[in-house]
Amino acid sequence: MASFNVSILFETPPKDDHILLLQRRAGLAIAVVALIAIIGLVMLKPNFG
């Protein structure tokens, strides 16, 4: 499975691969921030209420 993914990475142009990597990293960062925000709201809601 790993060798299959490596062959796919070598077939794609480096520029598109770099853009995909940036998009994946940005999406992961947004997901982490959203998850922390939701957990934070759930934890802080009883204190305000």
CA 4 to each of CA 8, 9, 13, 31, 44: distance values in angstroms, whole numbers, following the listed order: 6, 9, 16, 27, 46
For residue range 1-49, list pLDDT tens digits in order: 445 555 555 555 556 778 888 999 999 999 999 999 999 888 887 666 5
Q: How far is Cα of residue 24 from the mean position of the Cα atoms in its chain?
A: 5
CA 28 to each of CA 7, 34, 41, 46: distance values in angstroms, whole numbers, following the listed order: 24, 10, 20, 29
Q: What pLDDT does residue 19 have? A: 84
Q: What pLDDT does residue 16 have? A: 72
